Structure 1
C-alpha cells in the first residue's frame, strides 16, 4: 500500500482545498498519472500517482486538507485493498500508535472520516478521548442544513488567505498614504494608438506598469524589502504585481522584469492574467517574486482607493477610474480634461513622505508627457518588424 500524502505546495498555507479527483475511487491508476487537483491560496496544482495500483480515496471533493495529510491510498492489488478494508479497527495485539498526540489513537474508520471532512488534530484532541472511533468523529462533522435555518458558509481557502495577508499587513506595517491627481489625456490617446498599431489591448494600466518599473533606479527604496535586522535589500529589477479579481477570487500575478518589456508585451501579460483569473489556472511562479503592487480600482465613479502594502514589500499603488472634469485653459476658457488619481501607500519605516512625493511626481510626469513611453513602444514595434523580415 502506498499512501498519497499532500506535499507542502505553499509555505504560507496551513490548509488547502481538494478541488477534484481526476481518477475515480477504486480505479486502476499508473505511475505519473494525475490523481487530484489541490488549490492553495495562490494557485491550483495536480498531484501525480507515485505507484501503479488501485486508488482508494479518503477525502471528498471540495474538502479542506493540510500539508502532509494522507488523502488516498494506492493498493498493489484488489486482495491488498480487501485486506485493508476488512482489517479490525484496532489491533489488540499491537501497541497503539498515537495518531495526533501522546495517548491518542484513531481507528481506521475514524481516521478516514476525519480526513474526509478535513478535521484537524487539535479538533480531534478536543474530544478528550484516548481512543477515537468513527462515532466520536461524527460529533464534529457539520450537520445538514435544516429548512428555514440560515445557511452558514465557510470562507473559501483563497479568501481566508487574503484575510490573513491583510491582517498581517495591518499588524506589522506602519503605513502612510499620499495621492496624486494626474492628467491622463495624452496617455489614453497613446494607448489607443498602440492598440491600433500592435493589436494588443494596451490600456492606461499597461502604461502605468511600464512607468512604475522605470522608476526603480531613481526610487530604489520603494521597491526594497525590509529585513528583520533593520536593514533593507534593494531590488535589482522591478517585478510589478497587479491585483486581478474576475469575480472568482483575488489574485496578484506578477509582470516580471517589467522595465525590459514593451508596453504591448505588458498589455498581453495583463490580458492573460484576466483569462487565468476567470479559470483559476495560475502557476505558482506567476504569483510570486513581486516587489511592488498596483491595484486597479477603475470601476466608474471610484475616484480614490487606498491599497494594502503586502508583507515583504514597501509600497503599493492604486489606480482610480477616469474622471472627466472642466478646467480653464491658459486663456481662461473651459475645456474638458481627463484625470485619474494615483494612491500610494508606503511603509514609513523605509519610505518617508518626501520620497513618496518624489515618486508620485515622477509617475505624474511620465503619464502626462508620455513621449518616452511612445518612443519605447514604437521602437520595440520597429525592432519586431525588422526581426520578422527575411535576411538579405
Structure 2
C-alpha cells in the first residue's frame, strides 16, 4: 500500500481544494499518470501517481485538503484493497453533537467571531469542515437586507489580502528611488525586438539587470531565517507582478541571469496570457527570491509595492516620463526618464546597500550593452 501525499503547492496557502479526480475510485493505474486536480488560491495543479496499483480514494471531489495529507492509496491488487476496506472500519455518520469539536478554518473562525456567531449556529450548518463561504452564507441569511448590494471578494483576492497583511505585519520596510534616463534602454529594447521578433520592453531589461546583480548584492536576494540569519541564494529567480484584470499573479523567471533578454520577453508574454486566462501551474508561481513590480500605466511614475514574505526586496519601475532638460551647452533637449523604486526589509538591508543596488541598476539601464 502506497500513500498519495499532497505536496506543498503554494506556500501562501494552508489548505487547497480537491477539484476533481481524473480517474475513478478502484481504477487500475498503470504507472505515473495524472490522478487529480487540486486548486490553490493562485493556480490548478495535477497530482500524479507514484507508480502502478489500484486506486483507493480517501478525499472526495470538492473537499478541502492540506499539504502533507494522504488523499489516496495505491494497492498492489484488488484483493489487497478489498482486505483494507474490510478491516478499515468507518463509523457511521452521526449528527453533529453540541459537545463535538468544530472543524473550522482559521479565516472562517475569525469571520464568525467578528459577526458574533455561536458554535451552535455553526454546528447547525451540518458541514464536515466549515469554511469562509459557509460563514458568509450564514451571515447573509441572518442579516437584514443591506441598503446597498455587497460584492464578495474572490478567493484569489482574499489570498492577495492575506499576503499583503502578513507583509505589513512582519516586514519593517524602507524605500528608496532613483531617476533613470530610459532612452538608451528603450533603444536597445527596440533593436532587440526588431532582430528577434520578441516583445522586448524596459521591464524585460530590468528583470535581466536585476538578475545580473546577484553576485554584487547577495543580500537583495537573501531570505531572513527564524534564527536571525539570512539564507543567500545561489541563482537569481526573479518574480514579476502581473494583473490582467483577474487578480494579482507573481510568475517567476527562474535563473534569469542565464537567459537572453528575448527569452525573458517570451516568458513574460506567455505569463501575461496565462494571467488573463488564470491558467498558471504552481511551479510557475514559486521559487522567487526577488521581485520586480512594473507599474507602467501612463502617468504613473512612482510606486511603492510590498516586500513579499520570505523575500528581502522588490524593485518597481514606473511609466516613462518625457521631460525637457538642458544639455552641457545649455540647449533644451527632450529626454525620457523612469523612476526605479526599491522597497527593502530594513532588518537585512541598510540604506547604503540599497543606494548601491539602485545605483548599479541605474548604470546598467543607462549603459545597457550587456543586457542585449
Shorter-chain TM-score: which interval? Answer: 0.7 to 0.9
Gaps of 5+ in 1: 81-88, 378-392
Query: How do residues 321-360 of structure 1 correspond to structure 2 at under 5 angstroms?
Result: 321-360=319-358
C-alpha contact 2:10 2:40 (8 A) present in aligned 1:
yes
Larger Rg: 1
Q: Which residue of 2 aligns with 1:236?
A: 234
Deviates most, 288-297 or 274-283: 274-283
Summarize the Cα distance change of 1:173–1:151 in structure 2 as closer, same or farther, 3 Å threshold.
same
How many angstroms does 1:21 deviate by? 7.4
Aligned to 2:243: 245
Cα displacement string for residues 269-297 of structure 1 (whole angstroms, at most 9, x for unaligned residues): 11111122122222222212211100000
Deviations 1:96-148 (A, max 9, x none): 7xx99995289xxxx9xx99xx988x9799228999868xx9x9682698998
Alignment of 1:154 onto 2:155 = no
Is 1:301 the counterpart of 2:299? The answer is yes
Q: CA deviation at 1:156?
A: 2.2
Alpha-carbon shift at residue 42 of structure 1 (Å) = 3.4
Q: Which residue of 1 aligns with 2:271?
A: 273
Gaps of 5+ in 2: 73-77, 83-90
State the 1:196 CA deviation: 0.7
State the superposition RMSD in angstroms: 4.7
Counting only pairs closer than 5 Å after superposition, residues 89-108 of structure 1 correspond to structure 2 as 103-104=99-100
Q: Which of 361, 364, 367 is residue 366 of structure 1 equivalent to? A: 364
Q: Kindly report which structure 2 residues correspond to 1:193-212, keeping only aligned pairs within 5 A, or say none.
A: 193-212=191-210
Q: CA deviation at 1:244?
A: 1.1
Determine the C-alpha separation between the residues in 2 that align with 1:144 and 1:364: 52
**Aligned-partner Cα distance in 1 for 2:19–2:235:** 35
In the alignment, the residues of structure 2 paired with residue 201 and residue 100 of structure 1 have an alpha-carbon distance, to the nearest angstrom, of: 59
1:284 corresponds to which residue? 282
Q: Which residue of 2 aligns with 1:142?
A: 137
Structure 2 residue aligned with 1:126: 119
8 Å Cα contact 1:316-1:346 kept in structure 2:
yes
Give the Cα separation in 1 of the matches to 2:268 and 2:226: 33
- How far does the alpha carbon of each residue in 1:238-284 deviate from its partner, in whole angstroms, 9 at most, with x for none? 11111111111111111111111111111111111112212222222
Distance 1:178 1:100, change over 3 A: farther
The number of aligned residues is: 344
